[in-house]
Amino acid sequence: MTASSAVDRLGPFPAARNGIRMTVMTEGRSAWNCPVCGTPHRPGSTDLKFPGFDIYRCPCGLGYSGLAMAGERGQSYNAAYYQHVRYADKAGRDAYAGHLAGIFDGCLKECAPPTGGRRLIDVGCATGDFVGWARDHGWEASGIDASPEAVETARGRGLAVTVGNIEDIGDSVDRPYDVITMWDVLEHLPDPAGALSTLRRISKPGVVLVLKTVSRTSIIEAMARLAYRGSLGVISAPLRRIYVPGHLYCFTGPVLHRLLARCGWAVGCAGQTDTPSRALTGFPPLGAALGLAARIQRTTGRCYELFAACHPKTES
Ligand SMILES: [Zn+2]
């Protein structure tokens, strides 16, 4: 099954309700509001407790980390972070770039830029594997990433990549982009609504935003949670591989679509998928187990990755 076959057309979404505030000041203290629905954080909404951070669940369905409320990134994106097989191992890199390419091609078949333009930026491009794929497939491709170490690696591969955050894109744009990609970034950002709103603000009409993030409703998550609960917290390793400190948010499909709508994006198509096992491990027995889990997740419609392609909403 290819990623493109998982692309589904979606119906119309509710009218945008912009203007959500991330933070309100109350008697000198800051309260934290859900970036999706605006509900204030309630301490009693704890879902999971881990050393160093807790995971909470908003009534809207968003999972969020205590680190998100603290405005922390949760993880250092230095050279050590990019030693993962999907970045550092040639077969892993190729597998992952191919995975992203499959999602990208499937989404673009449904939501191609109306002008047919080929100018693309990959936001949070890491070491540039997707930028390289896009360049090799006829796109005028560039990337931006907050990690100097990752950008250095990408530049060493001859790619047009700069160090910066989403806010820096607008300052450096002399021509608007036709396509923006954002793979595995949203869950790492303390302020995902701010990021999506910024992208909306700097985008021209007709731009296509293709993004992918993590789901909290996968079969693997449910099994890891069962082991954790059943062992009274002793078997925590599987769950902690999912709820890593760097993942500040965990979505469901409807929650992701609601966030996009609130930030001015109309979802044209969306779907779910899983990372190929070769991009997760170079150890064949583990790869086989992960491959089997992914097949079960696809069959049940409860994968670990959510993706969507969106256009800017038109003002009504
Ligand atoms: Zn919420």
Distance 228 CA to ligand 1 centre (A): 25
Distance 258 CA to ligand 1 centre (A): 10
Residue 15, pLDDT > 80, answer no
Distance 293 CA to ligand 1 centre (A): 29
Residue 107, pLDDT > 80, answer yes
For 228, half-sphere exposure in the C-beta direction (CA atoms, 13 angstrom radius) is 18
Distance 188 CA to ligand 1 centre (A): 17
- The pTM (predicted TM-score) of the whole model is 0.87
Over range 173-200, report the average pLDDT. Answer: 92
Distance 261 CA to ligand 1 centre (A): 14
Return the higher-pLDDT residue of 170 and 147.
Answer: 147
CA distance readout (Å), 176 to 128, 201, 211, 228, 280: 20, 11, 18, 47, 34
Cβ count near 28 (within 10 Å): 5
Asked if 192 and 35 count as a contact pair (C-beta separation under 8 A), the reply is: yes
Over range 144-167, report the average pLDDT. Answer: 94
Distance 229 CA to ligand 1 centre (A): 24
Residue 87, pLDDT > 50, answer yes
Domains with residue ranges and CATH for the chain: 3-29+45-312 (3.40.50.150)
Distance 50 CA to ligand 1 centre (A): 21
> At CA 2, angle to CA 159 and CA 216, rounded to 5?
85
Distance 290 CA to ligand 1 centre (A): 31
CA dihedral 113→114→119→123, nearest 10 degrees, is -30
How confident is residue 167, by pLDDT bands cut at 50, 70 and 90?
A: confident
Over range 114-125, report the average pLDDT. Answer: 92
Residue 288, pLDDT > 50, answer yes
How confident is residue 282, by pLDDT bands cut at 50, 70 and 90?
A: confident
H helices of the chain, where?
Answer: 66-69, 85-88, 90-110, 129-136, 148-156, 166-172, 192-202, 219-230, 237-242, 253-262, 284-300
Over range 86-103, report the average pLDDT. Answer: 90
Return the higher-pLDDT residue of 197 and 315.
Answer: 197
Distance 34 CA to ligand 1 centre (A): 5
How confident is residue 89, by pLDDT bands cut at 50, 70 and 90?
A: confident
Distance 83 CA to ligand 1 centre (A): 34
Distance 63 CA to ligand 1 centre (A): 9
Distance 198 CA to ligand 1 centre (A): 20
For 33, half-sphere exposure in the C-beta direction (CA atoms, 13 angstrom radius) is 15
Distance 40 CA to ligand 1 centre (A): 8
Mean pLDDT of the chain: 87
For 77, half-sphere exposure in the C-beta direction (CA atoms, 13 angstrom radius) is 22
Q: What is the pLDDT of residue 172?
A: 67
